[in-house]
Amino acid sequence: MQKLHLVMGGRVKDPQGLDFIDLEKLDLVGVYPNFDAAEDVWRANAQRTVDDAEMKYVIVHLHKLLEPDLPEE
């Protein structure tokens, strides 16, 4: 089974949280077929914005949202 992952980022109210300030300005980087590919892209974007504490990039496990009852491998 393909395990899709979404990489996205944007400005957050609190750098320790996930409350994005402006959803219309989210940077939807892309959807990737596995965690390793998503992590590489996430790392590059997070590193690019490391000096901006209000910018945060995350990896969303889309496969867990699409099929939450599947067992972890």
Q: What is the mean pLDDT of residues 12-20?
A: 93
User: How far, CA to CA in Å, does 12 sit from each of 9, 56, 58, 63?
Assistant: 9, 7, 11, 24
Percentage helix, strand, coil, to 5, in the chain? 30, 30, 40
Which domains, ranges and CATH numbers included, belong to the chain?
A: 5-66 (3.30.70.2400)
Show the tokens assigned to 20: 């994005």
Neighbours of 68 (CB within 10 A): 7
Least confident of 28-37, 47-56, 64-73: 64-73
At 40-59, the pLDDT tens digits run 999 999 999 999 989 999 99
Return d(Cα 3, Cα 61) in angstroms, integer. 8
Neighbours of 32 (CB within 10 A): 20
